[in-house]
Amino acid sequence: MTWRGSSTTQDRIFACLVYIVPVLEVLLIGFGEPLFRSIPYLRLAFVPLMPLLAIYAYSVGGIAVVQIAVFIGLFAGVIRNYRVVHFLRFHTMQALLIGIAIFLCDAVLSILGIGRSVIGVGASPVEVLFWNPLMSVIFVAVLAAAIYSVVQSIRGLYAELPIISEAAYQFVR
């Protein structure tokens, strides 16, 4: 999808930066913890994001103030701002949709009674054999989608993710 015109270097950099949001979201929820327990050195790859994660996790009275502010800021300031180029609005919407998918996965797992307690000590064999791999798959899928999208953004191309790209494109027409 490159028919919307060319993108500048600045547009490409900003399009890459928005994909930090879903990565922070998946780290905050803890979907990567089973992998981090299995491969402790993997956590070192995310050390540079820890200061941002601490800020992103800030909440007041149980309300995720920074997460809501980032979402509203990106939605109102970038996606709904038609003076911003389509390339950046598309990638921002796609990053937010990945974040929404992470939230929905967390909500479904919480409804099923599976959550952050699964990764803790004393988990049952069913949790270890089924839910931990599921959480790891979600983590790897989000990470792969973010990395792919960043690479496509650097190249000045629209990242094609099944379902998410279609929704993002429909929303930012």
The span from the CA of 149 to the CA of 152, in Å, is 5
Contact present, 65 and 59 (Cβ < 8 Å)? yes
Q: Give pTM, 2 decimals.
A: 0.88
- Per DSSP, what are the bridge partners of residue 63? 60
* Secondary structure of residue 63 in the 3-state scheme: strand
pLDDT in tens, the chain (173 residues): 444 566 899 999 999 999 999 999 999 998 998 899 889 999 999 999 999 999 999 888 888 899 999 999 999 999 999 899 999 999 999 999 999 999 999 998 888 776 655 455 566 676 677 788 888 999 999 999 999 999 999 999 999 999 999 999 999 98
Task: In whole angstroms, give the CA distance from residue 23 to residue 113.
Answer: 24
